[in-house]
Amino acid sequence: MADRTLDELRDLMVASGGVDEEVDLSDDILDTTFTDLSYDSLAVLELAGRIEREWDVVVPDEAAADFQTPRMVLDYVNERAGVN
Amino acid sequence: MNARRVAITGIGVMAPGGTGRKAFWSTLTDGRTATRTISLFDPAGFRSRIAAECDFDPAAEGLSRREIRRMDRAAQMAVLAAREALLDSGLDDSEPDPARTGVTLGSAVGCTMKLEEEYVVVSDTGRDWLVDPAYGVPHLYHFLVPSSLAAEVAWTCGAEGPVSLISTGCTSGLDAVGNGARLIADGVADTVVAGATDAPISPITVACFDAIKATSPNNDDPAHASRPFDRDRDGFVLGEGAAVFVLEELDRARARGAHVYCEVAGYATRGNAYHMTGLKPDGREMAEAIRAAMNAARIDPDDIDYINAHGSGTRQNDRHETAAFKRSLGKRAYEVPVSSIKSMIGHSLGAIGSLEVAASALAIEHDVVPPTANLRTPDPECDLDYVPGIAREHRTDVVLSVGSGFGGFQSAVVLTAPGRDGAERRAAA
Amino acid sequence: MSRRAVVTGLGVVAPTGIGLEDHWAATLRGRSVLGPLTRFDASRYPVRLAGQVPDFVTKERVPSRVIPQTDHWTHLALAATDLALDDADARPADLPEYEMAVMTASSSGGVEFGQREIERLWRDGPRHVGAYQSIAWFYAATTGQISIRHGMRGPCGVVVAEQAGGLDAIGQARRVLDEGATFVVSGGTDAPFSPYGLTCQISNGRLSESTDPKAAYRPFDGDAAGYVPGEGGAIVIVEDADAAARRGVSRVYGEIAGYAATFDPPPGSDRPPTLRRAIERALDDAGVPPADVDVVFADAAGVPELDRREAEAIGAVFGDHGVPVTAPKSMTGRMYAGSGPLDLVDALLSIRDGVIPPTVGVRRIPADYGIDLVRDLPRRVPVRTALLLARGYGGFNAALVVRAVPDAVAAADGTTVPR
């Protein structure tokens, strides 16, 4: 399976938490923290849930708690997808 | 102005661990935990599969078949608790004036259990978004509008004054008591049946807390899963139940020779305007609610003998709350015993505030404070006296009971031993 | 009540329109805005008409971050709150945080959101329930979101009493002024249109099955055959009059002068219903004799037995044809927690403009109802005091009295009440 891209993650982020008026998701956000992107803990949990449901990748509690940036999410997802 | 004071003259409880206020008090003072693997439905596949459930048979408790059919479990528990409270108050012999009797009932999630059960039927187990109304049961509307819970209690006690359901999430049970007390203080009613009920142990509610990882996943050891203030706490354990009180204007209660458990002396609520589920570590808004409730009760921090904490056992709550106590009470926070009965009977959402008021009233009655069960390894960030494990004999005249809920609600109630406000107590001392 | 509660801002999101003046113009036009229910395919349901908010574009009215975590009912309330704050010319950031309170009513919470999540649970399994179900479905969601969005840290509350709840919330708003709040966002909305939400409503036996929008909901008509449900409502700003004056408000719509709530005896009881007592208590609370009331905004159930009972209660207090009665909700449908607050808006605009909005669709009123119903066309008449009634399923009654702010107070505040 091809790696998930930042664009795909952006779509999931918008569905999970909308877009803050002050934030431009089309910027290079790979290493911007979710906090700086105005995604709170609930939005990240929703994102983790959507990754499980829509991308079919299991995200245990500890992994979700460690998601700080989009890059960390993509790394996690793509490593797991590679194993499957 | 001589303000009208508010007495609690009757208490009714439906709680995990035993039905009725006596069984409830035994559970708490024994330090027994009523948390276990969920039996109300098959929890396989859920992240958290434990809860504190009530064991009761509605028919054996005296509800008719018709009543059972039309009532959600939350309504059944509210009505049974109301009946016990009325009996306890002795009011059934001296019929209060219906026009001067009100009801304020709290509930966070209303009739969701029935709402979900019936949804499964009309939707063919979730397969049809366009559900089939032909399969709807006659009382479906009662389940959609949770005000039906307050209506059932009003019918139980014959109230024809103001009746309402207060639904402020997990502070509903404190807010219902606070609002009921106001009706009496304002002179709108002389008697108010106040309390709260919730029956959230159903798949949708368990799943929604799973999704935000708020509940404990400690499925292998349910009896020790609810660990407020412990370093190793990992979320709250869902509970269910109801507690209902008879509130009366103090002078009238005394005139009829009623037993007065305590007074509802102060109440306040504030919003944290921060986050629907998140709490800032500083406890600022809860501290503000506590200060306002103390002002209303005309007491100082030094008057407080016991704090019945929200103590849900989530990482953020217990820290937040500890900070709020320090912020509002100063050094007194370190001197006064604080405990969380959620360690034993779980977190029954809107109902728990009233169950905690019941525990607080009984603490005043018996001069015993219930413990925080399962507190073995103190969290360095939670450094107050949480009464670990064992109930404590302790002179208890003034209790502060607090709650915190989704939506940012922060509420505080002050209960005082009958007939003494802070000034009088200090003068007597 | 030591403090005077005045209304300084009105925000409407209703089937009659979004925003005060659009709504008021549509209301005075006197035409029903009921129509086929379009939020989902209602063709297989026995009830197919509804009052729906037209042209509500969520992403234009609700912050993007908030949309996924809230139900439509909360979206409507957040939009109405923005309108009310604008109308009151209030900037919450400039006001004392603990003096701003939020008191809303809801009758059924996040109906559509809740159905979607329960569907996912039962169709796909527990892990398919989203993180926001825990904060979108419950009845407190709207108050919590308003408090957070506007930094309001004073007393926050939520009352549920089906259709009566909207007036109860306004009564609570006035009450918390005695506890240090000076600025209250109050009112309510509902949005009960999902397939399951409608199915639940149908089970109460009071919904109209007519498919003719002009005849479906005819309160006080001898042939009334139920009500049409509506969505939306209103959010209003209730302020302590002194604080409003200090804030320099330029307009006071009127005063919340009296309020009372009662509850009916159980079905089958031989005790009398209690709406009359609610009316008398609210008038008494306001210090207003019945003769001073210029208009009654009726609950208007649209069910003959309930209409008759309401007509009797009004007649018992005001006498036969003793006061103009109206029910503009005949145009919008019953919006549950949203109706009382929208009636409050209409009552205050009646005071402002000296005109009573009409009740539509009524052809024949039984003579023994004895009510002077304002029908089809607005009635031009000075209005200084209005009584609002609302009844919630199960026996809840609420009565609210509003009146023009006395000239002396208006002058002292540096405000005027246009008439």
User: What's CA B424's distance to the chain center, in Å?
Assistant: 29
Selected residues 52-91 of chain C with any CB under 8 Å from a CB in chain A: 63-69
Residue C312: CA count within 13 A, CB half-sphere: 11
Q: Which of C247, C278, C303 lies at the terminal end of a domain, its last residue?
A: C247
What are the pLDDT digits (tens) for B324-352? 999 999 999 999 999 999 999 999 999 99
User: Are B45 and C41 in contact (CB < 8 Å)?
Assistant: no
What are the pLDDT digits (tens) for B187-226? 999 999 999 999 999 999 999 999 999 999 999 999 999 9
C-alpha C60/C-alpha C29 separation (Å) is: 27
pLDDT at B417: 97
Is C305 found in the same domain as C365? yes
Told to judge if B310 belongs to the known catalytic residues of this protein, a careful annotator would answer: yes
Is C324 found in the same domain as C231? no
User: Are C157 and B168 in contact (CB < 8 Å)?
Assistant: yes
Least confident interval from A61-65, B65-69, B142-146, C137-141 = A61-65
User: Are C262 and B161 in contact (CB < 8 Å)?
Assistant: yes
The nearest CA of chain A is from the CA of C64 a distance in Å of 5
pLDDT at C416: 44
Q: Which residues of chain A make contact with B46, given a CB cutoff of 8 A?
A: none
Interface pTM (ipTM) of the complex? 0.97
Domain count, chain C: 2
- Asked if C154 reaches chain B (Cβ–Cβ under 8 Å), the answer is yes
Q: Which residues of chain B make contact with C161, given a CB cutoff of 8 A?
A: 147, 150, 163-165
Contact (Cβ atoms closer than 8 angstroms) between residue C162 and residue C336: yes
Helix C20-29 × helix C339-353 angle, to 10° = 80
Q: Which residues of chain A make contact with B217, given a CB cutoff of 8 A?
A: 61
Residue type, C207: L
Q: Which residues of chain C make contact with A15, given a CB cutoff of 8 A?
A: 68
C-alpha A21/C-alpha C176 separation (Å) is: 34
User: Are B131 and C195 in contact (CB < 8 Å)?
Assistant: yes
What are the pLDDT digits (tens) for A22-43? 888 888 899 999 999 989 999 9
User: Are A49 and C69 in contact (CB < 8 Å)?
Assistant: no
The nearest CA of chain C is from the CA of B207 a distance in Å of 5
User: Are C132 and A38 in contact (CB < 8 Å)?
Assistant: no
Find the catalytic residue in B224, B310, B320, B382: B310
pTM of the predicted structure, to 2 decimals: 0.96
Contact (Cβ atoms closer than 8 angstroms) between residue B285 and residue B271: yes
- Asked if B277 reaches chain A (Cβ–Cβ under 8 Å), the answer is yes
- Tell which residue, B62, B87, B83, B58, has the closest CA to residue B71: B58
Mean pLDDT, range C214-219, rounded to an integer: 96
When comparing pLDDT for B179 and C1, which is higher?
B179
User: Are A46 and C67 in contact (CB < 8 Å)?
Assistant: no
Q: Which residues of chain A make contact with C117, given a CB cutoff of 8 A?
A: none
pLDDT at C407: 58
pLDDT of B429 over the 70 cut: no
The nearest CA of chain C is from the CA of A62 a distance in Å of 16
Mean pLDDT, range B273-284, rounded to an integer: 95
Q: Which residues of chain C make contact with A52, given a CB cutoff of 8 A?
A: 127
What are the pLDDT digits (tens) for C249-278? 999 999 999 999 999 999 899 999 999 999
Residues linked to residue C53 through DSSP beta bridges, in sequence order? none
User: Are B164 and C158 in contact (CB < 8 Å)?
Assistant: no
C254 domain residue, yes or no: no
Which range of A52-56, B123-127, B334-338 scores highest in mean pLDDT? It is B334-338
Q: Pick from A39, A53, A54 the residue to mutate for testing the C interface (most C CBs within 10 Å).
A: A53
User: What's CA C35's distance to the chain center, in Å?
Assistant: 20
Least confident interval from A53-57, C109-113, C131-135, C411-415 = C411-415
Contact (Cβ atoms closer than 8 angstroms) between residue C97 and residue C150: no
- Asked if A42 reaches chain C (Cβ–Cβ under 8 Å), the answer is yes
Contact (Cβ atoms closer than 8 angstroms) between residue B311 and residue B342: yes
C417 domain residue, yes or no: no
- Asked if A19 reaches chain C (Cβ–Cβ under 8 Å), the answer is yes
Q: What does the domain layout of chain A look like in residue ranges?
A: 6-80
The partner residue sitting opposite C131, judged by closest CB among A18, A20, A49, is: A49
The partner residue sitting opposite C68, judged by closest CB among A17, A21, A52, is: A17
Tell me the pLDDT of chain A averaged across its residues.
89
Is C238 found in the same domain as C102? yes
In terms of Cβ atoms closer than 10 Å to its own Cβ (0-12, 13-18, 19+), residue C407 is: exposed
pLDDT at B425: 58
Is C216 found in the same domain as C281? no
- Tell which residue, B376, B239, B354, B268, has the closest CA to residue B308: B354
C-alpha C71/C-alpha C109 separation (Å) is: 8
Q: Which residue of B has its CA nearest to A61?
A: B213
- Asked if C44 reaches chain A (Cβ–Cβ under 8 Å), the answer is no
Is C196 found in the same domain as C60? yes
Contact (Cβ atoms closer than 8 angstroms) between residue B166 and residue C158: yes
- Asked if C394 reaches chain B (Cβ–Cβ under 8 Å), the answer is yes
**The domain B6-111+146-418: what is its CATH number?**
3.40.47.10
Residues 6+ apart with CB under 8 A from C150: B273, C81, C85, C92, C100, C185
- Residue recorded with tokens 């309930």: C306
Q: What does the domain layout of chain B look like in residue ranges?
A: 6-111+146-418
Contact (Cβ atoms closer than 8 angstroms) between residue B274 and residue B309: no
pLDDT of C232 over the 50 cut: yes
Q: Which residue of A has its CA nearest to C133?
A: A46
Q: Which residues of chain B make contact with C127, given a CB cutoff of 8 A?
A: 45, 210
User: Are C119 and B161 in contact (CB < 8 Å)?
Assistant: no
CATH number at residue C282: 3.40.47.10
The nearest CA of chain C is from the CA of A43 a distance in Å of 8
Q: Please give the full DSSP string across C270-300, using - where no structure is assigned.
A: SSPPSHHHHHHHHHHHHT--GGG--EEE---
Query: In terms of CATH architecture, what is A6-80?
Result: Orthogonal Bundle (1.10)
pLDDT at C314: 98
Is C173 found in the same domain as C88? yes
pLDDT-derived band of residue C417, with 50, 70 and 90 as boundaries?
Answer: very low
Domain that holds residue C283: 259-404
What are the pLDDT digits (tens) for C92-120? 999 999 999 999 999 999 999 999 999 99
Is C301 found in the same domain as C360? yes
CA angle in degrees (0–180, nearest 5) for B203-B103-C74: 50
Find the catalytic residue in B142, B224, B320, B347: B347
pLDDT at B155: 96
pLDDT at C254: 98
Is C264 found in the same domain as C236? no
